[in-house]
């Protein structure tokens, strides 16, 4: 292959890559697509911070319910708020957020004075359905409840203007508002008699970010088709 031809191929691939990135970014921000279908990005090492809204934090405090994390999740301070940080090390999602399934490790706990607690574990963020599914377990105070089948714990409302995917660096970040799903509402009522979180509107502001290194490989394969 001549030097001139190599340069031409490189320039063509760079131009195509730029067009693809702009196309996928357009989808993510609500603009008109599309050059290629949005690739599936595989999650490497990432995390999601779930921070209670002001209304949710006040409601929990008023009812004596403490928010906690179930290992390997941890509590973290983010912009002056106490949040649950969920690690994510697997799963995949489309660059336009239209599909995907990303599980989180650890879980969220709610504990009330007197020992009654609720654990939400096995949380999986389902992009296509716009839900976060998981299991709820009530512990303490009497016998407690048996582990449930996965239910819709939260609803997801992606904030597309905060979605940033850099296929050259292999990183992705985004945000969503989490409302209470029917399963989450029922679990809280089972645990505490009443739901200590607002029934309407967002209860958590979620931000996520981390490695999506497979994006570069997916892009390369797409350009060779």
- State the pLDDT at residue 140: 75
- State the pLDDT at residue 221: 55
- State the pLDDT at residue 132: 98
- State the pLDDT at residue 213: 64
- State the pLDDT at residue 149: 74
β strands within the chain, DSSP E? 40-42, 46-52, 65-70, 74-78, 81-88, 92-94, 100-103, 107-112, 117-126, 131-139, 151-158, 164-166, 171-180, 202-211
Q: What is the pLDDT along the chain (225 residues), one digit of tens a residue?
A: 443 333 333 333 333 333 344 344 444 444 344 456 678 899 999 999 999 999 999 999 999 999 999 999 999 999 999 999 999 999 999 989 999 999 999 999 999 987 789 999 999 999 999 999 999 999 875 544 555 678 999 999 999 999 998 878 889 999 999 999 999 999 999 999 999 999 789 999 999 999 986 544 445 555 555
φ, ψ for residue 27 (rounded to 5)? Answer: -60, -45
* Residue of 114, 117, 153 whose CA lies nearest to 135: 153
- State the pLDDT at residue 30: 42
What is the longest distance spanned by two Cα atoms in the chain? 78
């Amino acid at each position: 292959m001549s030097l001139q031809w190599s340069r031409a191929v490189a320039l063509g691939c760079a131009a195509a890559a730029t067009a693809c990135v702009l196309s996928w970014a357009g989808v993510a921000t609500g603009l008109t697509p599309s050059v290629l279908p949005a690739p599936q990005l595989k999650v490497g090492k990432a995390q999601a911070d779930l921070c209670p809204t002001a209304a949710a934090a006040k409601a929990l405090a008023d009812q004596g319910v403490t928010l906690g994390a179930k290992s390997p999740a941890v509590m973290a301070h983010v912009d002056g708020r106490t949040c649950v940080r969920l690690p994510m090390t697997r799963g995949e999602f489309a660059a336009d957020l239209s599909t995907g399934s990303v599980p989180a490790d650890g879980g969220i706990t709610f504990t009330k004075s007197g020992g009654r607690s609720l654990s939400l574990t096995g949380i999986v963020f389902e992009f296509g359905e716009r839900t976060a599914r998981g299991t709820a377990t009530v512990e303490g105070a009497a016998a407690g409840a048996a582990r449930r089948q996965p239910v819709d714990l939260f609803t997801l409302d992606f904030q597309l203007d905060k979605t940033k995917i850099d296929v050259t660096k292999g990183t992705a970040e985004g945000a969503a508002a989490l409302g209470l799903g029917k399963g989450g509402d029922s679990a809280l009522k089972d645990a505490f008699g009443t739901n200590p979180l607002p029934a309407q509107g967002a209860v958590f502001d979620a931000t996520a970010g981390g490695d999506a290194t497979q994006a570069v490989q997916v892009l390369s394969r797409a350009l060779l088709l």
